[in-house]
Chain A
């Protein structure tokens, strides 16, 4: 039954940077792969991302980061836990320095996706993570 429901992904950007070519291309690709993509413009506040993920009941959140906006990701994960949305998987895509990648994974990010990753690999990763999210979630 769960397979009948399309995978639902939030593609968003937090922090201050506004370069959204990457997030738009990924969003369109995921749509064409049959997913429902909730797309936001850049500069979302963390509480807004949490609220949106909750109301939209998404399986995965993809956050595109350039500049140093990824430094805010641990705060996002903390806020998701506090909102009791532990099942949602978070992936970070974009320019993330190596030393920060480890920090993000330790904080609970499922995957860090670097520039140059093939779009179909991104879609596969999200597909797998969505199923993981549904497996641990009591209501799906």
Chain B
């Protein structure tokens, strides 16, 4: 009886499907091809032919269980909402401290520290044109600066994400402050963002400070040091964001990120580190574009693949090592200068894609980022976008709410196949390190960037306000800019000069000597010497310069 019903239902489905096909073709005889950014053709309708719920246990399973498609924790946002981690960092350490205190009073404990571009390039403030100082991040060069950043704040009770490329001088300065204040390093929590040198070599060149062999050595030393001495710190965040921003398709970005992570795992294993210890501290960082369903599928497929890679490729059985913890930032590339308020709508859609994709932490861009560094009022809108999505739209009520959607599941499978094929390509080229050394990844990204530019240029991809729906705009409506005062900058320069004059020169020289010696020797952990140098009042710029001398300056490989 039951069997008969099933086959009858089946026949009904086939009939209904055929009728729909007929009706659709009658109305749209020549359907246009729709292709997503990763090159996957999108059909007008998905159904049981595309995704069969009998595959539920194999492809989806339950949250917190392999293959992790539906999320890495059993509770997801029901247990704890995602961290709202906005980037902050503007002007002097005092400016930063004021903003930070306001955030902490408002109940935030997950904070970030974004340094000035001069810091990113590895310089102290007295090494660059003063016109550029403090305009896009905080100027932190010394233990004294770091102390001021966290004035009257218990650094043992906050979690700090630091944009701190190799050789991780900011963490070293933070640890130096902790030591000075008597705070145990066990209590220091947070993440070394921008620790993924491959992504810097390939895409975000600003953060690339040391030549590749030096990067390779310092990163593994950093991971080993943190695992041992700062065990609650995440020493590595593997970054897909830069590559996608530079033009990689979402599938490529995910594939390159997974390949990069595999390269780091291999380097850590070669050093003899324990994967059950270092892997749970790996984190990821992605761009979320406005290609809504594609992004959701990208995250779900990536999470599933990482679980498989860790368990099968590396044979790690510790379930905590399978967790694909990631932070996402809404993509600035999608934002437009034209009609900037439209960017609020874009950011909202991007944020939703990230949330449905199962992120652990989210940054939403300010709508004015294409005009200049974000103003405070625009940053407020960005934060409230997240609040609205959580509190008013109730996006956190259900775990993986799009799971089981024929379209989303099919697309997740297709994205997974696409990602696998890119991974196979990189594997065949000898792995990620080799593929970036020879420029293979760079030229793949460049090609995708040009292809996207071509679609926009031809009008195939509409961008509202740019190649369609343009309006005359009144530029006077735009907000005036906030820039640090020239006196503030001069004060800080004077302070750095005094700091350098007052410190114990002998200690500084010895710390630099030991740092250089460690760089040259296999036996000493270089990163432990970076931390010692920070404690000995060596400045950020001096540490980077020393390692640049030892390892060579970081020159990214640029393929046009």
Q: Are both chains from one complex?
A: yes
Query: Do B338 and A116 have beta carbons less than 8 Å apart?
Result: yes
Q: B450 touching A67 by the CB < 8 A rule?
A: no
Interface residues in A83-98 (C-beta closer than 8 Å to B): 95, 97-98
Q: Would you call B558 and A21 a contact (CB within 8 A)? A: no
Cβ-defined contact, A116 with B206, below 8 A: no
Residues of B within 8 A of A24 (CB): 446, 449, 558, 560
Given contacts A20-B205, A98-B475, A99-B481, contact A25 B453 (CB under 8 A): yes
User: A42 to B135, alpha carbons, bound, how many Å?
Assistant: 18
Q: Which of B369-377, B411-419, B526-534 contacts A (4 or more CB under 8 A)?
A: B369-377
Complex CA–CA separation, A27 to B558 (angstroms): 12
Q: Contact partner of A95 among B204, B206, B338, B372, CB < 8 A?
A: B372
Which of chain B's residues have a CB closer than 8 A to the CB of A15?
117, 129, 132
B163 located at the interface, meaning its Cβ lies under 8 Å from any Cβ of chain A in the complex: no
How far is A29 from B333 in the complex, measured between Cα atoms in Å? 19
Q: Nearest Cβ distance between residue A6 and chain B, in whole angstroms?
A: 16
Is the beta-carbon distance between B132 and A18 smaller than 8 angstroms? no
Within 8 A of A (CB), among B317-336: 333, 336
Output the nearest chain B residue to A66 by Cβ-Cβ distance.
B136
B163 to chain A, nearest CB (A): 13
Residue A136 CB within 8 A of the other chain = no
Interface centre among A24, A27, A42, A114 (most CB of B within 10 A): A24
A83 to chain B, nearest CB (A): 19
Interface positions, chain A 14-45, Cβ under 8 Å from B, are: 15-21, 24-25, 27-29, 31, 37, 39, 41-43
Tally A residues with Cβ within 8 Å of B. 33
Given contacts A28-B446, A98-B475, A115-B337, contact A18 B204 (CB under 8 A): yes
Q: Measured between alpha carbons, how far is A39 from B449 in the docked complex, in Å?
A: 17
Q: What chain A residues lie within 8 Å of B446 (beta carbons)?
A: 24, 28
Chain B residues whose C-beta falls within 8 Å of the C-beta of A114 in the assembled complex: 337
Say whether A69 faces chain B, with CB atoms less than 8 Å apart: yes
> A29-B453, A114-B337, A115-B337 given as contacts; is B555 within 8 A of A43 (CB)?
no
* Residues 33 to 90 of chain A near chain B (Cβ within 8 Å): 37, 39, 41-43, 67-69, 71-72
CA distance A19 to B246 in the complex (A): 8
Please determine whether B481 and A72 come into contact, CB atoms closer than 8 angstroms: no
| Distance between B548 CB and nearest chain A CB, rounded to angstroms | 13
A20 to B370, CA, bound (A): 15
| Cα of A95 to Cα of B560 in the assembled complex, Å | 21
Residue-wise interface mask of A (94-117) relative to B, using a CB-CB cutoff of 8 A (1 in contact, 0 not): 010111000000000000001110
Q: Which residue on chain B has the smallest CB distance to residue A46? A: B129
Contact assessment for A17 and B372 in the assembled complex, using a CB-CB cutoff below 8 Å: no
Give A67 Cβ to nearest chain B Cβ, in Å.
Answer: 5
A68 to B133, CA, bound (A): 9
Contacts of A67 in B (CB 8 A): 117, 132, 135-136, 373
Q: Is the CB–CB distance between B131 and A18 below 8 Å?
A: no
Judge whether A18 and B205 touch: CB under 8 Å: yes
Q: Which chain A residue shows the least CB distance to B117?
A: A16
Closest to A27 in B: B560
Q: Within the complex, what minimum Cβ distance (angstroms) separates B342 from chain A?
A: 12
Contacts of B433-488 to chain A: CB distance below 8 A: 446, 449-450, 453, 457, 463, 465-467, 475, 478, 480-481, 483
* Selected contact of A41 from candidates B128, B463, B483, B558, CB within 8 Å: B558
The answer to whether B207 has its CB under 8 Å from any CB of chain A is yes
B246, A21: Cβ atoms closer than 8 Å? yes
Does residue B71 face the partner (Cβ distance < 8 Å to A)? no
Q: Is A2 an interface residue (CB 8 A)?
A: no
A50 to B371, CA, bound (A): 28
Given A39-B558, A72-B129, A95-B337, the answer on whether A19 and B206 have CB atoms closer than 8 Å is yes
Which of chain A's residues have a CB closer than 8 A to the CB of B465? 116
Tell me which residues across on chain B come within 8 A of A27, comparing CB atoms. 560
Known contacts: A16-B120, A68-B131. The answer to whether A116 contacts B336 by CB under 8 A is yes
Task: Flag if A71 contacts B131 (CB, 8 Å).
Answer: yes
**A1 on the interface (CB 8 Å rule)?**
no
A25 to B558, CA, bound (A): 12
B118 within 8 A of A: yes
Q: Is B245 an interface residue (CB 8 A)?
A: yes
Q: How far is the CB of B136 from the nearest CB of chain A, in Å? A: 5
Quick check: A71 and B132 within 8 Å, CB to CB? yes
A68 touches B136 (CB 8 A): yes
Q: Knowing A28-B560, A67-B136, A120-B457 touch, does A21 contact B337 (C-beta < 8 A)?
A: no
Interface flag for A3 (CB, 8 Å): no
B187 close to A (CB within 8 Å): no
With contacts A16-B120, A21-B247, A116-B337 taken as known, whether A41 is within 8 angstroms of B556 at the C-beta atoms is yes
Q: Is B101 engaged at the interface, CB distance under 8 Å to the other chain?
A: no
B216 within 8 A of A: no
Given contacts A27-B560, A97-B481, contact A19 B204 (CB under 8 A): yes
0/1 interface trace, chain B 331-374, chain A, CB 8 Å (1 if under): 00100111000000000000000000000000000000011110
The 6 closest A-B pairs by CB, nearest first: A18-B206, A16-B117, A18-B205, A68-B135, A116-B466, A71-B131
Query: Given A28-B560, A72-B131, A99-B480, list of 20 further CB < 8 A pairs?
Result: A15-B117, A16-B118, A16-B121, A18-B120, A20-B246, A25-B247, A28-B446, A28-B450, A29-B453, A39-B558, A41-B556, A41-B558, A42-B205, A43-B121, A69-B132, A97-B371, A115-B337, A116-B336, A116-B338, A116-B467
What are 25 sample pairs from A and B whose C-beta atoms fall under 8 A apart?
A: A15-B117, A15-B129, A16-B118, A18-B204, A18-B208, A19-B206, A19-B245, A20-B205, A21-B247, A21-B449, A25-B247, A28-B560, A41-B205, A41-B558, A71-B131, A95-B337, A95-B370, A97-B372, A97-B481, A98-B475, A99-B480, A116-B337, A118-B467, A119-B453, A119-B457
Q: Please report A residues at the B interface, Cβ cutoff 8 Å.
A: 15-21, 24-25, 27-29, 31, 37, 39, 41-43, 67-69, 71-72, 95, 97-99, 114-116, 118-120
